């Protein structure tokens, strides 16, 4: 794979988004950020896509790095760059499909927020996580702090930001951050298993439940809205099919209606 802007591959109901600057530890340029936003839009407008997998090309790296975050050289050209960066994980978190991060390397800086913006994560054993914002003199943007506190909890978030030290993935596992921590030769199989589980679910219920959970976590709880989503699911063809499949002891054939 040639280096460059992130690529989007569509296969049936699964989209795979790959970061592609391994020689630069997959640091994200402004072009990368704009490309990611365009890919998000493509995925959101393709109703066939049920799952998006985010991963990185780590070929040729001595030790795999998923992403070193935003290319700090961009700060020299635009001091407002951190505020633009915030739009990327915000858009990723709000995507219609379920998102799974195949965290195939260590992750640093703003890229940690991309990982947290995904619904689910599978990580590699022996990798590290670091948030150096305070060491750079940067107060992190609000939605990123919210995601950290939501996923890490307050105390672990303070440890990540205020100490700015590398955290082993194994130390983060008790926080419930990963679906699994695996060796490199197990990653693809684990990701495939997660994807297969997700694509076997009822897509409308899955996507509506994801939206409701994110709203609750973000302090946007609205009971009438959630009740209406529940009502719609009760009257859906997928719920009828799910009940029939359970009664007949067979796999459900959901159609997303």
**Pair 102, 138 in one domain:** yes
**Residue-range definition of the domain harbouring residue 219:** 203-248
- 143 within a domain of the structure (yes/no): yes
CATH number at residue 33: 3.90.226.10
**Pair 209, 105 in one domain:** no
- 139 within a domain of the structure (yes/no): yes
* pLDDT-based confidence at residue 74 (cuts at 50, 70, 90): low
Domains contained in the chain, number: 2
CA-closest candidate to residue 17, choices 49, 1, 41, 40? 40
**Pair 217, 189 in one domain:** no
- 257 within a domain of the structure (yes/no): no
Task: Round to whole Å and give the CA distance between 234 and 237.
Answer: 9
**Pair 158, 209 in one domain:** no
**Pair 79, 188 in one domain:** yes
CA-closest candidate to residue 155, choices 163, 210, 255? 163
Tokens 């060491």 sit at which residue? 135
**Pair 214, 104 in one domain:** no
- 195 within a domain of the structure (yes/no): yes
pLDDT tens digits for 157-170?
999 999 999 999 99
Task: Output the pTM of the full model.
Answer: 0.92
pLDDT tens digits for 103-144?
999 999 999 999 999 999 999 999 999 999 999 999 999 999
**Pair 175, 212 in one domain:** no
**Pair 27, 98 in one domain:** yes
Determine the average pLDDT of the residues in 205-226.
93
* pLDDT-based confidence at residue 62 (cuts at 50, 70, 90): very high
- CA dist 200 → 23, 195, 209 (Å): 37, 9, 15
**Pair 58, 171 in one domain:** yes
- 253 within a domain of the structure (yes/no): no
Dihedral sign from CA coordinates of 135, 140, 144, 148:
positive
**Pair 35, 161 in one domain:** yes
Three-state DSSP class for residue 70: strand
- 54 within a domain of the structure (yes/no): yes
Euclidean distance between the first and the last CA atom of the chain, given in angstroms as a whole number:
38
Task: Round to whole Å and give the CA distance between 90 and 80.
Answer: 17
**Pair 89, 213 in one domain:** no
**Pair 82, 135 in one domain:** yes
User: Given a cut of 80, is residue 79 above it in pLDDT?
Assistant: no
Task: Round to whole Å and give the CA distance between 107 and 134.
Answer: 17
pLDDT at 73: 64
User: Given a cut of 70, is residue 81 above it in pLDDT?
Assistant: no
E strand segments, 29-156:
51-56, 65-67, 98-103, 106-108, 120-124, 128-130
Tell me how long the chain is: 257
Q: Where is pLDDT greater, at 71 or 215?
A: 215
């Amino acid at each position: 794979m040639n280096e460059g802007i992130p690529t989007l591959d569509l296969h049936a109901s699964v989209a795979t988004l790959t970061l592609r600057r391994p020689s630069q530890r997959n640091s994200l340029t402004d072009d990368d950020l704009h490309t990611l936003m365009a890919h998000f839009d493509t995925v959101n407008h393709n109703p066939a896509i049920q799952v998006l997998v985010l991963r990185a090309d780590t070929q040729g790296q001595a030790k795999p790095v998923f992403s070193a975050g935003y290319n700090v050289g961009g700060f020299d050209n635009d001091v407002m760059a951190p505020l633009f960066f915030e739009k990327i994980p915000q858009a990723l978190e709000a995507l219609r499909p379920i998102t799974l991060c195949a965290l195939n390397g260590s992750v640093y800086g703003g890229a940690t927020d991309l990982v947290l913006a995904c619904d689910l994560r599978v990580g590699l054993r022996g990798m590290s996580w670091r948030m150096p914002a305070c060491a750079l003199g940067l107060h992190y943007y609000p939605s990123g702090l919210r995601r950290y506190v939501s996923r890490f909890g307050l105390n672990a978030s303070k440890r990540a930001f205020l100490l700015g030290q590398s955290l082993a993935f194994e130390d983060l596992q008790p926080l419930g951050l990963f679906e699994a921590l695996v060796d490199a030769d197990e990653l693809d199989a684990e990701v495939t298993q997660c994807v297969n589980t997700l694509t076997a679910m009822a897509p409308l219920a899955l996507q509506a439940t994801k939206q409701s959970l994110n709203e609750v976590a973000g302090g946007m709880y609205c009971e009438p809205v959630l009740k209406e989503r529940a009502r719609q699911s009760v009257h859906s063809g997928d719920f009828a099919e799910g009940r029939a499949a359970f009664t007949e002891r067979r796999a459900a054939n959901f159609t997303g209606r």
